[in-house]
Homo-oligomer: A and B are copies of this chain.
């Protein structure tokens, strides 16, 4: 089961506190307990990817470093050792692994990192159309062959200059809106009716943008949560972490496919078809993605989206998880 997490802090975090030590980290989280009944190709990988920026900002060389693997993170001795040495103020990590390194998230282009939790429905039917819209720089940058990497290429094509050294928050936000709009447009043209799950995350090292989105009016998107506070640290041993809020300032913002601590109150759910923007100055904004799949919270239909579709796709759904966890933990 595919998960992701983003950490942005005013000071660097040791990667181990995010990845390997918390018992509820995306690496150590509960595994999919269902039988693997779906044995159709393509097989799902158990790999992972982590990307981070340096602690020290250097205008010239401020590029993310990536560590990816096609083998499971929980067994990776190099990851365990490196995570205790590396500190970063901005980290993306995902278990959206692959059988091929080329397909491992997060994807990088210059200063930008991108990851995707979900899937573009019937991607073969829109792939040619998407590719036709790409300028060469975006077309040729794709190394692997997944819907997610092509979605990143599409995102790059929505930026005035994907090789720029800096991006305003507005530029990144608008490029994300346009990416989703184009993917919806392609699907409509191709007559695709199955919804696409588009939980995307992109950052340039300063702004972070994450979406919780599904191209459906009646289904829930895969889950997405955030938490903010002043410190994120272990308490009482055993890998139990919590987010503390010492004062009004928010030194840390985390966005994740599911809560990373047992303290559910620390975590706020991002509503389906909304975008979260974390600005360079650590402000967090929620922005609705208003298109034909949007249902305003005032509309009673917003309460009746069903989780079956996301669940079927092996993605997290909030309600189910709450139930499972309350059973497990209490």
Contacts A31-B32, A145-B144; is A67 near B81 (CB within 8 Å)?
yes
* A240 to B, closest residue via Cβ: B37
Contacts of A30 in B (CB 8 A): 33-35
Q: Does A162 contact B (CB under 8 A)?
A: no
Q: At the interface, yes or no: A136 with Cβ under 8 Å from chain B?
A: yes
Candidates B71, B81, B142; contact of A66 at CB < 8 Å: B81
Question: How many A residues have CB within 8 A of the partner chain?
Answer: 56
Q: Specify which of B29, B35, B100, B128 is in contact with A24 (CB 8 Å cutoff).
A: B35
Interface segment, one of A5-13, A43-51, A207-215: A43-51
Copies of this chain held together in the complex: 4
- In angstroms, how far is the closest chain B Cβ from the Cβ of A322? 15
Q: Is A269 an interface residue (CB 8 A)?
A: no
With contacts A35-B24, A82-B65, A239-B37 taken as known, whether A72 is within 8 angstroms of B74 at the C-beta atoms is no
Q: A80: which B residues are within 8 A, CB to CB? A: 43
Main secondary structure of the interface of A (DSSP, over half): loop
Which residues of chain B are near A234, meaning CB under 8 Å?
A: none
Asked whether any CB of chain B lies closer than 8 Å to the CB of A117, the reply is no
Whole-angstrom distance between the Cβ of A52 and the nearest chain B Cβ:
9
- With A30-B34, A82-B67, A100-B101 as contacts: A124 and B144 at CB distance below 8 Å: no
Given A30-B33, A101-B99, A65 contacting B81 (CB threshold 8 A): yes
Cα separation A74 to B75 with both chains bound (whole Å): 16
Residues from chain B with a CB closer than 8 A to the CB of A75 are 43-46, 99
CB of A166 closer than 8 Å to a CB of B: no
B102 touches A145 (CB 8 A): yes
Interface contact B65-A36, CB-CB below 8 Å: no
Nearest chain B CB to A145 CB, angstrom units: 5
| Among B20, B99, B124, B145, contact of A77 (Cβ-Cβ < 8 Å) | B99
Q: Is A54 on the interface with B (CB-CB < 8 A)?
A: yes
In whole angstroms, how far apart are the Cα atoms of A68 and B128 in the complex? Answer: 29
Q: Report whether B74 and A43 are in contact in the complex, using a CB–CB cutoff of 8 Å.
A: yes
Choose among A44, A54, A102, A238 the residue with the greatest number of B CB atoms under 10 Å from its CB.
Answer: A102
Distance in Å from the Cβ of A268 to the closest Cβ of chain B?
Answer: 22
Return chain B residues, CB-CB under 8 Å to A69: 78
Q: Are A28 and B35 in contact, with the CB atoms below 8 A?
A: yes
A52: nearest chain-B partner, CB-CB: B85
**B43 & A65 in contact (Cβ 8 Å cutoff):** no
Q: Which of B28, B85, B128 contacts A139 (CB 8 A)?
A: B128
Contacts of A142 in B (CB 8 A): 145
A124 B140 Cβ-Cβ under 8 A: yes
Given contacts A72-B72, A100-B144, A102-B145, 17 further A-B contacts (CB under 8 A): A24-B35, A28-B39, A30-B33, A31-B33, A33-B33, A37-B238, A46-B71, A66-B78, A67-B81, A68-B77, A69-B78, A78-B78, A100-B102, A102-B144, A124-B139, A127-B140, A143-B145
Between-chain CB contacts (< 8 Å), 13 pairs: A28-B39, A30-B34, A43-B80, A46-B46, A65-B81, A65-B84, A68-B78, A70-B71, A71-B71, A72-B72, A100-B100, A100-B102, A100-B103
